Amino acid sequence: MLEAYEGYFENGQFFPLNISANIKNRRRVIITVLNDEITDDNNEEETAQAAAWREFFEAINDCDEDVPETFERVNFNREVLI
């Protein structure tokens, strides 16, 4: 089965535009480099995500509380009875 992912390449890494891209390790890939450059105009989803992460890290940095080095692992797929 073949799958195609749209994204962009930056600093030697591939960033898929589709968040659900799940490429397993050690898979053979073919990368086609297009002449189009990703800009804020044609990548609104990525811009919104980047802004959300930036706001998150700014809030963490502005927080007066000590931030732990690690966090408890969470499973969001687990059903919980309330």
Length of the chain: 82
Specify the pTM.
Answer: 0.38
List, in sequence order, every beta strand (DSSP E) within the chain.
Answer: 7-10, 13-16
Residue-by-residue pLDDT tens, the chain, 82 positions: 778 888 888 888 888 877 677 778 888 888 888 888 877 665 555 677 788 888 888 888 888 888 778 888 888 888 877 7
Q: Where are the domains of the chain?
A: 7-62
**Is residue 34 within 8 Å of residue 17, measured between CB atoms?**
no
